[in-house]
Amino acid sequence: MEKKNQINFWYAAGAIFLVFLFQSWWITHTTYESIPFSEFEQLLKDGKIAEITVRQETIEGKFKNPLDDGKQYFTTNRVDLPLAEVLNKYGVQYNGTVQETFLTNILSWVLPVLFFFGLWMFFIRKIAEKQGMGGFMTVGKSKAKIYVESDTKVTFADVAGVDEAKEELKEIVDFLQDPQSYGRLGAHAPKGILLVGPPGTGKTLLARAVAGEAGVTFFSISGSEFVEMFVGVGAARVRDLFEQARKQAPAIIFIDELDALGRARGVNVVQSNDEKEQTLNQLLAELDGFDPSVGIILLAATNRPEVLDPALLRAGRFDRQVLVDRPDRKGRRAILDVHVRKITLDPDIDLDRVAQITAGFSGADLANLINEAALLATRRKGEFVTQDDFTNAVERIVAGLERHSRVLSDIERRTVAYHEMGHALVAANLSGVDPVHKISIIPRGVGALGYTMQRPTEDRFLLAAQDLENRMAVLMGGRAAERIVFGRISTGASDDLQRVTEIAREMVMRYGMDETLGNRVYAAQRQSFLGQPGVDGPEVSQETLREIDLAVRERVENAFEQATGVLTEHRTELDEGATLLLEKETLTAEDFPPLKSKAAREKNLAET
């Protein structure tokens, strides 16, 4: 049974129970006991009657005190006597009001029923509607949340790290503020703008900033809120949404997670959904039907544009796609400047260094990082957030929470120490890899017994074959160290093996970096970032697949041999570093100078 029906059923059951309880109480407390008129006269003479009601054929009354058998009310047949004189003589109150017993009985039922029905109408129903369980008449109404200018409270000053996207959207603000002068040369604003980017990059925040800058009504709704189990409901909600926007124009309609509503039609016939397709068709019709000159702009956001229907992305509907990507180093610094306004910082903190060690973080990740750093400072009862708090927060996000309760045996601790020192020393002696930031043998997260944290000094967008081979050697450094020192290997390199295999397969199958297989692609074609979904890659023979497997295995083995050669050459540093790591459990390049990168050592040597 649905939640709404459960509420209605139990409410009705409870109301019926209370009505019968009320009737039982009413009958119990107002039962009239029939007595002879002669007895009535005797009771009257004894002064035991408090008041009576004279009806046409009967006399009803109440005793001053209940009788021995508990009787409190009585009734008797009326006998025409000069009652008024007698009643006055004995000081009994009386009246001659004629009351209908039938009407009294009806009201005793109707009034409680009306009371509970009114209670349901004004209270229970309101609560159900707020929880999304409105009545049948509200099924086709839009569920969009409406914000006026004072509610949005977000401007472009609150958005950082996506300068190109802000520039693209500023002209939308200009159009909404002054549509007449904006179109003086015949141009018109795009009907729809699609914000595309990975999760957490600020797509929703950008849309709200546009509404805050323009000072217009902002309709916000998720794509999944259009789709219901009843066919036609989604289309009705799309119509209602655009109708509300027309009434409050200029306005912005923002549909978050558009891929829940606008998936390509006909891709999977078996799992086709008529309701979703009707809703999408209605959205396409609305995009064709409204005039942008009235001041309505449609914004939408998605992190999966490759699954959208091509009809949504054609010119005249979503005219413009704005990329909201992960920020670079400069953008990360700008985002940090925005979010640190709300926390108390150490005056000596270096936010440039924080931006440097957070490569790949999205805006949401950086906001979470600042909050984690503030929590760590609060936990240690500090007066402000320090550089160490940010460093520890990065480690907690990247590597996981420290697990001091996981106690390792001595042989396990030595194995982990040499494993992590192997990663670090290989990284320090090869070019084109990220420098070592910190190594630790404190267990973290779900299964990590230790970790080696490498943070880039700059953002890189192109990698040469040599760079990828060196990264593979760094990944194999842990297993190579175990083989050199202990003469055996362990399960600690399972994640390293998975990552190094993925890099080798990408080099062979996607990047054409194997001389034997040639300059061609063997992997399935990835779906395009904007546009129609891609198709499968070229078919290959069984012989070619074998050659691919051999090439991948050869590259992995070469990486292992390269790591073994580096560590054999620096065996003394490997033993010293592992011993120091076992003692301190956590090391940085300042604690153990051989961890400094090859480029840094060469630079220091040249300066010396």
Instruction: Using pLDDT thresholds of 50, 70 and 90, give the confidence band for residue 280.
Output: confident
End-to-end CA separation in angstroms for the chain: 80
Instruction: Determine which helix (DSSP H) or strand (DSSP E) holds 438, and give its type and residue range.
Output: strand 436-440
Summarize pLDDT for 436-482 with one digit per residue, the tens. Answer: 888 888 887 656 788 788 877 677 778 889 999 999 999 999 999 99
Give the DSSP per-residue string, 220-282: EEEGGGG--SSTTHHHHHHHHHHHHHHHT-SEEEEEESGGGT-BPTTS-STT--HHHHHHHHH
Task: Work out the percent of the chain whose per-residue pLDDT is above 70.
Answer: 70
| Between residues 9 and 33, the one the model is more confident about | 33
Angle ∠(590,594,599) on CA atoms, nearest 5: 95
DSSP-assigned beta bridge partners for residue 193: 299, 320
pLDDT, position 359:
81
Q: Which amino acid is at 465?
A: A
427 in Cβ contact with 455 (< 8 Å): no
Contacts 24+ apart (CB under 8 A), 581-586: 581/417, 581/420, 581/421, 581/439, 581/441, 582/413, 582/414, 582/417, 582/441, 585/440, 585/441, 585/442, 586/438, 586/439, 586/440, 586/441, 586/442
Per-residue confidence (pLDDT) for residue 592, from 0 to 100: 87
Q: Where are the domains of the chain?
A: 3-102, 145-323, 329-399, 410-607
Residue type, 545: L
* Phi-psi region at 445: left, alpha or beta (left = phi > 0; alpha = psi -120 to 50): left
Residue 36, both tokens: 């002879």
* Whether pLDDT at 266 is above 50: yes
Tell how many helices (H) and how many strands (E) occur in the chain. 22, 14
Which residue has better confidence, 361 or 293?
Answer: 361
User: What CA–CA distance (Å, rounded) separates 502 from 496?
Assistant: 10
Q: Is 57:100 a contact under the CB 8 Å cutoff?
A: no
CA 347/CA 344 separation, integer angstroms: 9
Give the pLDDT score at 44: 75
Residue 381 burial (CB count, 10 A):
6
* Residue for token pair 């390199």: 493
pLDDT for the residue 508: 92
Q: Which residue has the higher pLDDT, 70 or 393?
A: 393
In DSSP notation, 2-65 reads -HHHHHHHHHHHHHHHHHHHHHHHHHHHSPEEE--HHHHHHHHHHT-EEEEEE-SSEEEEEESS
The DSSP-derived string for 569-597 is: HTHHHHHHHHHHHHHHSEE-TTTSGGGS-
Specify the CATH class of 3-102 in words.
alpha beta
Token pair belonging to 270: 């078996």
d(Cα 503, Cα 523) in Å, to the nearest integer? Answer: 13
Q: Maximum Cα–Cα distance for the chain, whole Å?
A: 134
CA distance 324 to 198: 8
Considering the chain, what is the average pLDDT of its residues?
77
Structure-token pair, residue 465: 């074959």
Dist CA 123 CA 115 (whole Å):
12
Confidence at residue 184, expressed as pLDDT on a 0 to 100 scale: 67
Q: 197: closest CA among 317, 318, 326?
A: 326
Q: What would the pLDDT profile of 66-84 be if each residue is shown by its tens digit? A: 776 667 766 766 655 566 6
* pLDDT value at 527 more than 70: no
Dig out the tokens for 276 from the structure. 């979703």
CA separation (Å) from 487 to 424, 554, 559? Answer: 20, 22, 18
Give the rounded percent of residues in the chain with a pLDDT score beyond 90: 15
Q: Give pLDDT, residue 97.
A: 45
Bridge partner list, 301: 195
Q: Name the β-bridge partners of 451.
A: 440
Tokens of 560: 């292992």
How many other β-carbons are positioned within 10 Å of the β-carbon of residue 357?
Answer: 20
Residue 343 has pLDDT above 60, yes or no: yes
Choose the weakest-confidence range: 229-233, 291-295, 369-373, 447-451. Answer: 229-233
Domain 410-607 fold:
Methane Monooxygenase Hydroxylase; Chain G, domain 1 (1.20.58)
List beta partners, residue 448.
444
Known binding site: residues?
Answer: 197-204, 419, 423, 496
pLDDT in tens, 12-36: 666 676 766 665 555 545 566 677 7
CA 575 to the chain's CA centroid: 47
Q: Other C-beta atoms within 10 Å of 581: how many? A: 25
**What is the separation of C-alpha 503 from the centre of its chain, rounded to a whole number of angstroms?**
32
Q: What is the model's pLDDT at position 144? A: 52
Q: H or E element: which one contains 202?
A: none
Give the list of residues 6+ apart from residue 342 with CB closer than 8 angstroms, or none.
Answer: none
> Is pLDDT of 607 > 50?
yes
Q: If DSSP codes are grouped into helix, strand and coil, which group holds residue 217?
A: strand
Does residue 295 carry a pLDDT above 50? yes
Side chain identity at 527, as an amino acid letter?
Q
What CATH number matches the domain at 145-323, 3.40.50.300, 3.40.640.10, 1.25.10.10, 3.90.550.10?
A: 3.40.50.300
* Confidence at residue 245, expressed as pLDDT on a 0 to 100 scale: 82
pLDDT at 63: 77
Strands 32-34 and 73-77: parallel
pLDDT band at 159 (very low <50, low <70, confident <90, very high): confident
Residue 136 has pLDDT above 50, yes or no: no
Average pLDDT over residues 34-50: 74
Task: Say if residue 580 is exposed, middle or buried (CB neighbours under 10 Å; 0-12, 13-18, 19+).
Answer: middle
Q: What's the chain's Rg over C-alpha atoms?
A: 40
CATH number for 329-399: choose from 1.10.340.30, 1.10.8.60, 1.20.200.10, 1.10.1060.10. 1.10.8.60
Q: Is 133 helix (H, G, I), strand (E, B) or coil?
A: coil
Q: Which of 263, 245, 251 is nearest to 302 (CA)?
A: 263
pLDDT of residue 397: 83
Q: Can you say how many angstroms the Cα of residue 312 is from the centroid of all Cα atoms in its chain?
A: 25
Binding residues for ATP: 197-204
**Cα torsion angle, 429, 435, 437, 440, sign:** negative
Lowest pLDDT segment from 154-163, 175-184, 509-518: 175-184
pLDDT at 486: 92
Compute the residue count for the chain: 608
pLDDT at 477: 94
145-323 and 410-607 agree in CATH topology = no
pLDDT at 493 over 70: yes
Please give the positions annotated as active site.
Answer: 420
Split at pLDDT 50, 70, 90, the class of 560 is very high
Alpha carbons within 13 angstroms on the beta-carbon side of residue 106 total 5
The C-alpha torsion from 212 through 216 and 222 to 226, rounded to 10°, is 180
Would you place residue 573 in the very low, low, confident or very high pLDDT band (cuts 50, 70, 90)? very high
Look at residue 330 and tell me whether its pLDDT is greater than 60: yes
